[in-house]
């Protein structure tokens, strides 16, 4: 069984169902409202554990009811939360998701306790990081903590996966130099490399920029089209998405990354197969409204 450590955010998502995004100054009625567990880190950790990996999570919550709600969710999935700690002052993270009738979303995030994670918290989890097959991080928690985790992972031969989301065009060189696999979507790829991603040629061009920055493996996800990969030895390819009717795209990318990590061999010998499984898992996620509740279990994801 793969051992995975995820560093990342915990958010309680409030989902607001609307016909379309409002115009500036416009007041609109909502069609519905619901609450679910979210946060890119938590989503990816749950995806990894549901994909069959032994998964540990590094994060922070506040001392509030939202924390209780999230911790109960984690325990139900047997996610290891030994390194999820409480912050004395900040509240548990929150996200407000505007979801239109086409399944597309816009998200507003309150970072809260997610923004208080430090390098010291990473050192508390050093034993788990060193024993892992793979570690994963995103940009909803402080970058210095991610750099520290990736440095510990690299020192111990552990694969590092960076999901550069939300988009950030100013990534420290030290982080990229310690990243084995980077997984941007087309918007994030453009923000980092300056290359507008529209087709395979532009995906290759963006990937070359990542390789120049020191990242050996690039996977660019392009929503309902699929995902592109590029290796530093000039091998590349494209994996088509599974065609389904999308209800809500929230957590689709997170599901992809969790399933990818849980299925990928260290030598990348099964890269296309792992990407295909991850894509299949994501196709289940987009058919259900919500984040963590929409992430499928391994037994559902059959090729």
Q: pLDDT digits over 248-297, tens only?
A: 887 899 999 999 999 999 999 999 999 999 999 999 999 988 789 899 99
Domain-located, residue 151: yes
How many domains does the structure of the chain reveal? Answer: 1
pTM over 0.85: yes
Residue 50 within a domain: yes
Specify the CATH number for the domain of residue 133: 3.40.1190.20
Q: Is 8 annotated as a binding residue?
A: no
Q: What is the mean pLDDT of the chain?
A: 94
- Within a domain: residue 102? no
Model pLDDT for residues 180-222, shown as the tens digit of each residue: 999 999 999 999 999 999 999 999 999 999 999 999 999 999 9
Q: Is residue 173 part of a domain?
A: yes
Q: Which of 64, 133, 254, 267 is catalytic?
A: 254
Residue with tokens 């507008």: 196
Beta strands in 63-142 (DSSP E): 80-86, 93-99, 105-110, 134-137
What phi and psi values does residue 256 have, to the nearest 5 degrees? -55, -50
Per-residue model confidence as pLDDT tens digits over 17-26:
999 989 999 9
Quote the domain boundaries for residue 283: 3-7+40-59+116-300
Q: Is residue 174 part of a domain?
A: yes
pLDDT above 90 for 302: no
Does the annotation list 11 as a binding residue? yes
Domain contains 27: no
Q: Is 261 annotated as a binding residue?
A: no
- Clarify whether 77 is annotated catalytic: no
285 annotated ligand binder:
yes
The rounded distance, in Å, linking the Cα atoms of 16 and 96 is: 7
């Amino acid at each position: 069984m793969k051992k995975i450590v995820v560093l990342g955010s915990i958010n309680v998502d409030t989902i607001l169902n609307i016909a379309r995004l409002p115009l500036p100054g416009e007041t609109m009625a909502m069609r519905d409202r619901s609450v679910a567990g979210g946060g890119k880190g938590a989503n990816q950790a749950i995806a990894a554990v549901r994909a069959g990996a032994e998964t540990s999570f590094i994060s922070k919550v506040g001392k509030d009811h939202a924390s209780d709600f999230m911790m109960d969710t984690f325990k139900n999935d047997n996610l290891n939360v030994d390194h999820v700690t409480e912050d004395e002052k900040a509240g548990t993270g929150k996200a407000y998701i505007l979801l239109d009738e086409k399944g597309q979303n816009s998200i507003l995030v309150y970072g809260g306790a997610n923004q208080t994670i430090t390098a010291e918290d990473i050192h508390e989890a050093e034993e788990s990081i060193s024993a892992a097959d793979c570690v994963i991080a995103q940009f909803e928690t402080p970058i210095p903590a991610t750099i520290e985790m990736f440095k510990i992972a690299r020192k111990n031969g552990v694969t590092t996966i960076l999901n550069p989301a939300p988009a950030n065009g100013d990534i420290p060189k030290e982080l990229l130099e310690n990243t084995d696999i980077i997984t941007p979507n087309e918007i994030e790829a453009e923000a980092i490399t300056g290359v507008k991603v529209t087709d395979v040629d532009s995906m290759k061009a963006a990937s070359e920029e990542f390789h120049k920055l020191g990242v050996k493996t690039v996977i660019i996800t392009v929503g309902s089209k699929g995902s592109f990969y590029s290796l530093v030895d000039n091998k590349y390819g494209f994996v088509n998405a599974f065609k389904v009717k999308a209800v809500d795209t929230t957590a689709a990318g997170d599901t992809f990354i969790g399933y990818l990590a849980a299925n990928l061999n260290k030598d990348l010998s099964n890269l296309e197969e792992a990407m295909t499984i991850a894509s299949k898992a994501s196709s289940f996620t987009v058919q259900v409204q919500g984040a963590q509740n929409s992430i499928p279990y391994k037994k559902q994801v059959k090729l």
